[in-house]
Structure 1
Amino acid sequence: MGCGTSKVLPEPPKDVQLDLVKKVEPYTGHKTDVYKHFIKDDGSGGLKTGCPSPPYHIQPYPGTHLVNHMEPHEPRRTRVAKYRAKFDPRVTAKYDIKALIGRGSFSRVVRVEHKATKQPYAIKMIETKYREGREVCESELCVLRRVRHTNIIQLIEVFETQERVYMVMELATGGELFDRIIAKGSFTERDATRVLQMVLDGVKYLHTLGITHRDLKPENLLYYHPGTDSKIMITDFGLASARKKGDDCLMKTTCGTPEYIAPEILVRKPYTNSVDMWALGVISYILLSGTMPFEDDNRSRLYRQILKGKYSYSGEPWPSVSNLAKDFIDRLLTVDPGARMTALQALKHPWVVSMAASSSMKNLHRSISQNLLKRASSRCQSTKSAQSTRSSRSTKSNKSRRVRERELRELNLRYQQQYNG
């Protein structure tokens, strides 16, 4: 649902000691991307694990059909064996490598199966020889080693070499939140409160530990399995910030996904975990309508909307949404972070506590699905148009980027002055 993935990676914690598995010598030989022609999966369904930006292109899941683009005359079994040989032997001794399910600029996510238990897992491989990879790896491990919650993706174990870290994680096979809503056929306010209760439970737990996610959005809320009784899991802790007890609770790094960024981040003020609650306000708005509260292809205009907290309840299905649900959103999309609900307060809001009992049980599915699909289609078209424009203006890209950065700095300065009174 985001308009892009313009993320700024947070500074890695300087006092974190990683208790990783004993180091072993890395493989030698191939200097290029060893996963370049790796296994792809072409089944149907959806799957993801917690993963850092840039986003992975997640391949559909069920089935174990292995596809690659190497020499066609080479037997399939030989090709797969070659791929598996690229992994650390400690990993392949314990897990069967099944399929590549996601990739980023310095990481890969692979579906695996535990040889003894036959339990499926995901392994995220991060290339730590690159600075960005090391920073994300340290930040994410710092968080995932501390969390144990039913609604948060779980780290199982870690293997490390000199150039790569293998993070074995739970596998979420139920797909993204809004894919499930579109396929469901029925969605009411009560369904929305069930989803939000699970997410809020996870966020409250994180905040209690001094952890701020900083990139909450629908794409990072996944169903654990395809069943109707599946729980929701929070994933992607690549931008998360972990504070130890007694540390300054304020953060300063500008990061996140544009449409979900809180106003205080945009004006570069020190901020707290209340930025997660703003993002949950955006998610709640989308959950009940299939539309975005703040949206504009022009980044400057988008930020102006966010800084003013300017959104409306016009169009379908808002006339059918209860005032209590709108009050819940309003108390999260509050420009003043001090006045914003905390996770605990949100869990105690009458709309959530009553499971929307006083709300209309009208099925909002048709309007939500139509809005979601309409937006997905328009985003796809604008992306293609932008790619075409970029290719025709490649010689001007550096100059235009500098202009945009200058405009953004001026906008931030202007609104910071306004924000400070």
Structure 2
Amino acid sequence: MGCGTSKVLPKGCVSVVRSLVALSGAPCGDHHGGNHDPKKKLDKGGWFSTKGKNFPSDKSCGDKQQQQQQQQVPPETYKDKFDARVTTRYDIKALIGRGSFSRVVRAEHRTSRRPYAIKLMELETPQAREVCAAELAVLRRVNHDNVIRLVEVFQGQRRVYAVLELATGGELLDRVVSKGHYTEQDATRALRMVLAGVGYLHSLGITHRDLKPENLLYYHPGADSRLLVTDFGLATFSGSELPRGTGGSSTWSLRTTCGTPEYMAPEVVLRRPYSYAVDMWAVGVIAYIVLSGSMPFEDDSRRRLYRSILRGKYSFHREPWPSVSKPAKDFIRGLLEPDPARRPNAERALRHPWLVTMAAGSSSRNLGRSISQNLRQRASRNSSRCHSGTAAGSAPGGAARL
């Protein structure tokens, strides 16, 4: 959701905006079967997401500067939007993000002095009320160490205030780069937490539908921080809870095409009914990224990108793949299985030998240098496209809300 840095915010507070401004636009439509205006979604930035959150009506790269200016709004200009019930309990510190009908502030509990994020949601339109109800239904249900937590909700006639955990440890890839020395064992630690959170969501019948590194945040900067699955702007219930241990052949399905193109499973690209297995495909893409700093599927043309996804066309040839272990590659192959019925669920993926042993038999080679180099090269390519006037919708990394 692409909120830039601000003079009043540490990096972690800026990163959390990408997870919390999910109610800035319309849902995919599975909640009520309706079609919604995709222009209501706020753009999202990050390592693997250029502008273009709105699809097919994409925005240009210049939106980032406007969003940076928005973050510097003095507190006095928006504090009057907050109900007295909220300001009595929380000291509103700074605006850290805003969308079409929501804004997110950093706040501090007046008694405990603990920091939180508060999302203010305007309920002036039926669309806004529908989106608010949909995401709150998910957030009110979840309670897991690896999923962002809703603390409390203040409801009014025209506005809803959702108080959430404030993750200050930065995004997953920020941690990979800053660590310097990064091995397969480090990757397994992160992926185990991701799968724990995703498996929990699936056990409740919730499909996230927009899993990617930008939506995985560390709770605090410490080495022992838990990793959180965030941003439930596209999440939806299946309608019934999934029995534990079921595989990709679940009987329920979703139909709306949405998500970020590079992370879309083949069944989503084909507009076929799909299940929570789409999240498992996205975890496979994330695993590929955290081990290499590259995307398994990437192309300037969305048509060619989707063709590569449908063909399962990716490789383990470039650096650092020659130094990555066979079990790690086998783990990725299992998740990037084109047939959703053969794709492992989270519980089964957690039992993969590579994760169980935490890459004990893998090479201890430092992958950090190659990962950082690949990330820098991709960031440079995206920057060149922006400066050359290329629309974000044609550049890889834009998120689609169809």
TM-score normalised by the shorter chain: which range applies? 0.7 to 0.9
- Return the alpha-carbon distance in structure 1 between the equivalents of residues 369 and 241 of structure 2: 49
The 1:331–1:291 alpha-carbon spacing in structure 2 relative to 1, beyond 3 Å, is same
- 1:356 aligned residue: 359
Question: Which whole-Å CA distance do the structure 2 matches of 1:97 and 1:289 have between them?
Answer: 40
Q: 5+ residue gaps in structure 2?
A: 23-40, 47-69, 243-250, 395-399
Q: Which amino acid aligns with 1:50?
A: L
**What's the offset of the Cα at 1:198?**
0.4
In 1, Cα distance between equivalents of 2:327 and 2:75: 55
* Paired letter, 1:181: V
Shift of 1:160: 2.1
**132 and 312 in structure 1: CA distance in 2 versus 1, 3 angstrom threshold:** farther
Which is greater in Rg? Answer: 1
* Residues 1:160 and 2:125 are matched in the alignment: no
Instruction: Give, in angstroms, the shift of residue 339 of structure 1.
Output: 0.7
Is 1:181 aligned to 2:176, yes or no?
Answer: yes
Partners in 2 of 1:383 and 1:50 — Cα distance? Answer: 26
Could you tell me how far apart the structure 2 residues matched to 1:57 and 1:194 are? 25
Between Structure 1 and Structure 2, how many residues are aligned? 340
TM-score (norm. length: structure 2): 0.79
Partners of 2:71 and 2:101 lie apart in 1 by 22
Q: Partner of 1:105 in structure 2?
A: 100
Q: CA deviation at 1:159?
A: 1.4
Give the Cα–Cα distance (whole angstroms) in 1 for the partners of residues 185 and 230 of structure 2. Answer: 24
Residue 368 of structure 2: aligned partner = 365
Task: Indicate the larger mover: 164-173 or 124-133.
Answer: 124-133
CA displacement at 1:224 relative to structure 2: 0.2
Structure 2 partner of 1:54 = 42
Q: Kindly state the Cα deviation for residue 220 of structure 1 after the two structures are TM-superposed.
A: 0.2
Q: How big is the shift at 1:284?
A: 0.3
Aligned position for 1:147: 142
Out of 379, 382, 386, the position equivalent to 2:385 is 382
RMSD between aligned residues: 2.5
Asked if the contact 2:205–2:241 (Cα under 8 Å) also holds between the matched residues in 1, the reply is no
- Is 1:303 the counterpart of 2:269 in the alignment? no
Could you tell me which runs of 5 or more consecutive residues in structure 1 were left unpaired when the two chains were aligned.
6-39, 59-65, 70-78, 391-396, 401-407, 409-421
How much does 1:93 deviate?
1.1
1:91 is matched by which residue type in structure 2? Answer: V
CA–CA distance in structure 1, aligned partners of residues 43 and 215 of structure 2: 10
In 2, the alpha carbon distance for the partners of 1:308 and 1:51 equals 34
Distance (Å, rounded) in 2 between the aligned partners of 1:54 and 1:234: 19
Percent identity (aligned): 58
What is the alpha-carbon distance in structure 2 between the residues aligned to residue 208 and residue 158 of structure 1? 24
1:70-113 Cα shifts (integer Å, max 9, x gaps): xxxxxxxxx64453223111111111000111222222110000
Report the alpha carbon displacement of residue 67 of structure 1 after superposing the two structures with TM.
8.2
Structure 1 residue 266: Cα displacement: 1.1
Matched, 1:45 2:11: yes
In 1, Cα distance between equivalents of 2:165 and 2:92: 15
Asked if 1:276 corresponds to 2:279, the answer is yes
- Give 1:335 deviation, angstroms: 0.5
Query: In the aligned structure 2, how far is the partner of 1:260 from the partner of 1:56?
Result: 15
Corresponding residue SS for 2:20: coil
- Superimposed CA distance per residue, residues 369-418 of structure 1 (whole angstroms, 9 cap, x where no aligned partner): 1111211221122133346x69xxxxxx9xx9xxxxxxx9xxxxxxxxxx
Would the alpha carbon gap of residues 67 and 302 (structure 1) be closer, same or farther in structure 2, given more than 3 Å must change? closer
Q: Aligned AA for 2:227? A: I
Does the CA-based 8 Å contact 1:322-1:359 persist in structure 2? yes
Of the candidates 111, 115, 132, which is equivalent to residue 116 of structure 1?
111
Q: Is 1:326 aligned with 2:329?
A: yes
Whole-angstrom CA distance in 1 between matches of 2:175 and 2:97: 20
Q: Work out the CA distance in 1 between the residues paired with 2:71 and 2:325.
A: 49
Cα distance per residue 1:272-323 (max 9 Å; x no partner): 1000000000000001000000001111110000111110111100000001
Q: Does the 8 Å CA contact 2:265/2:278 hold for their aligned counterparts?
A: yes
Residue in structure 2 matching 1:196, options 164, 188, 191: 191
Q: 1:145–1:155: 8 Å Cα contact kept in structure 2?
A: yes
Note if contact 1:41-1:99 (Cα within 8 Å) is conserved in structure 2. Answer: no
CA distance in 2, matches of 1:223, 1:67: 22
